Amino acid sequence: MKGMSIYSGFLILMFTLSINSKEIIIEAGPNAHERLQEAMILMKDGDTLIIDSGNYIFEDSLSLDVDNVTIKGKGMNETILDFKNQKTGAQGLLVTSDKVTLEGFSIMDAKGDALKVIGSKGINMINLKTEWTGGPKSSNGAYGFYPVESEDVLIDGCIAIGASDAGIYVGQSRNIIVRNSIAQYNVAGIEIENSYYADVYNNLASHNTAGILVFDLPDLPQQGGHHIRVFDNKAIDNDTDNFAPEGNIVGEVPRGTGIIIMANSDVEIFNNLISGNGTVNLSIVSYGDETDDKNYYPHPKRIQVHNNNYGPSGFDPDLETGDLAKALYEISDGNMPDIFWDGVLPLSQIILGQPKDEQLIIDEEISTSFLTISPIKYMLGFSEPIKTSKQEFNGTISPLNSVVIESF
């Protein structure tokens, strides 16, 4: 009887929630911004907001701060939130609540970031599009999709075009899945930064400056990015000149980069097609700028690279942007490799050697070219500072666990 009582109570609770939740429909027309923003403010737990087909033109940003709600359009090509006339607000749509699903609409020409999510525990972004329609320009917003300081992040079936920093960016977050999406004509196509536990797969990153970035940076509340899997993606034909505003770190990334890993640990790169990148297909590098952050570790460790398919690269190196391409071009005498590791290690490891469990592991076809350097030997003019053999980097691959995000 006690079990029956608990079950009956559960049914009553679910019935009550169902009764109280409602579906709200917004149609295009006069005062659409006011009606849509009002609906977002007045939504209750469990509500669904339907934005009908149409082109909705806004002068102000939108914001959502209600938990456990869904906002759905009629499709990314049918429901268009157009911010080309935006006068106020730092983004198109700002979300600061938990257990939110956004699906089936586009955010176009936002004054700043297109879709920003801060501090959310549970955010689904499904079949959405962000775009700046005037082509690559430094005046475009920095980010298309921009969840930060969040948990259980899903980006699925989305398109990001024209961001002056990253089309799809997830920063200082944990439990992340980015899949089945397209990033084109951004500076960085997809970027995972200072984050823990991310799966990035089945995406197309093409015609960006750089396709996929896995970065860890200093002077941020969450550091030590780790457990990132990048697999079954196409990082191809990234050939757009870098158009990031001056001073942005991504502004140092050379045109024609497929994938870059910087200062992260426990990263697995596998089963990707990396091809048509004019500078380099895959780079593994340390953070090279000076920092006063004593807690920051600037070197990558436990990086595993295996079973990728490499196509042409290095045929049009960008020698005008940052230092990476120029240094690699000089070191390689213009014979740019598929995989480059900068070889930078802490001084203690230069002297005593890198711990075995932190070493780079590469398991690729014999035809895949590789280059690394001993920076100390190179600067002091010692013999054989450059290595092109992958043999000493052979090792047993220890697959990382897949990421699981909490459903709601």
406: buried, middle or exposed (CB in 10 Å: 19+, 13-18, 0-12)? exposed
CA distance 264 to 258: 17
Q: Which amino acid is at 242?
A: N
pLDDT of residue 32: 86
Rg over alpha carbons for the chain, rounded to the nearest Å, is: 23
CA distance 23 to 406: 24
CA distance 181 to 96: 23
pLDDT tens track, the chain, 408 positions: 444 444 444 343 343 444 567 999 999 989 988 999 999 999 999 999 999 999 999 999 999 999 999 999 999 999 999 999 999 999 999 999 999 999 999 999 999 999 999 999 999 999 999 999 999 999 999 999 999 999 999 999 999 999 999 999 999 999 999 999 999 999 999 999 999 999 999 999 999 999 999 999 999 999 999 999 999 999 999 999 999 999 899 999 999 999 999 999 999 999 999 999 999 999 999 998 999 999 999 999 999 999 999 999 999 999 999 888 998 999 999 999 999 999 999 988 888 888 999 999 999 999 999 999 976 656 555 556 799 999 999 999 999 999 999 988
The verdict on pTM exceeding 0.75 is yes
Cβ(124)–Cβ(101) below 8 Å:
yes
Rounded to 5°, the CA angle 288-293-294 comes to: 105
Measured between alpha carbons, how far is residue 371 from residues 120, 157, 308, 340 in Å?
41, 35, 17, 5
